[in-house]
Amino acid sequence: MIPLPEDFPGEVPEGAAVLATKLLPVLKKRFPNDALPRMVYTDRGKGFFATAGPITPEWSAGLHAAGLRAFQGQGWGPPFGTVVANPNPGGHSFGLHTVNSSADTPFGLSQAQLFNGRARPQRVVPRQNAAGQPGKLGDTLIHETVVGWLRAGLTRTLPRRPHEETRADYFKRLTQVCAYANQNYEIERLCHGWPDRLRDIVARGGDALPN
């Protein structure tokens, strides 16, 4: 874990900008010998996206500075001006295309196609816009389950005089709770099962998944 600064602004765009600077160090620590993930998937929480759906400038700029990109919409495509692989509508071959504007983007990949590893032309959607994503996805987002594990662990280890706990002591306790979760919960299964949970939500017509 990498702690946030004491003056962290919280769930606001300025806080999202600070968070973006912490992602790359976390990824490098988590994947020391592997290619780093470059796509960031979040809910529509405060600071990440405006109420109507567009990404906040602070979150967008922070991701770009870290070499990362948002999953939502064409936002998970590369920044404008870069050369990208462009699927050939007539088959599975790829060409190169320079993205100069959202109107110039000739394709998009749906979430299902991303999981299948297939690339086919799709309707172009607005860049970095989460308007089509529900505001709450507690049944499907991986971090919602993980946060529940951590909250339970923090409750179980709460000191008798919590108001006397220092920031350093809290961070040590949180690190121990994370280590317990890594050792005792099926985290890999949780991550790999995400596509199946999305399919279950669709099959249920959006109804909640059973506990």
In a 13 Å sphere around the CA of 10, the CA atoms on its Cβ side amount to 0
Same domain, 66 and 154: no
Domain-located, residue 148:
yes
Residue with structure tokens 């399919």? 199
- Model confidence over 55-73: pLDDT tens digits? 999 999 999 999 998 887 5
Same domain, 34 and 91: yes
The domain in which residue 182 lies consists of: 142-203
Domain-located, residue 45:
yes
Domain-located, residue 24:
yes
Q: What is the per-residue pLDDT for 14? A: 95
Q: Which residue has the higher pLDDT, 122 or 165?
A: 165
Domain-located, residue 47:
yes
Domain-located, residue 25:
yes
Mean pLDDT of the 158-168 span: 93
Domain-located, residue 40:
yes
120 touches 87 (CB < 8 A): yes
Give CA separation, 182 vs 26, 149, 177, 188, 190, in Å.
16, 10, 9, 9, 12
Q: Model's pTM, two decimal places?
A: 0.60
Same domain, 184 and 92: no
Domain count, the chain: 2
Domain-located, residue 154:
yes
Domain-located, residue 37:
yes
Question: What angle, 0 to 180 degrees and rounded to 10, lies between the N-to-C axes of helices 142-156 and 167-184?
Answer: 120
Same domain, 83 and 155: no
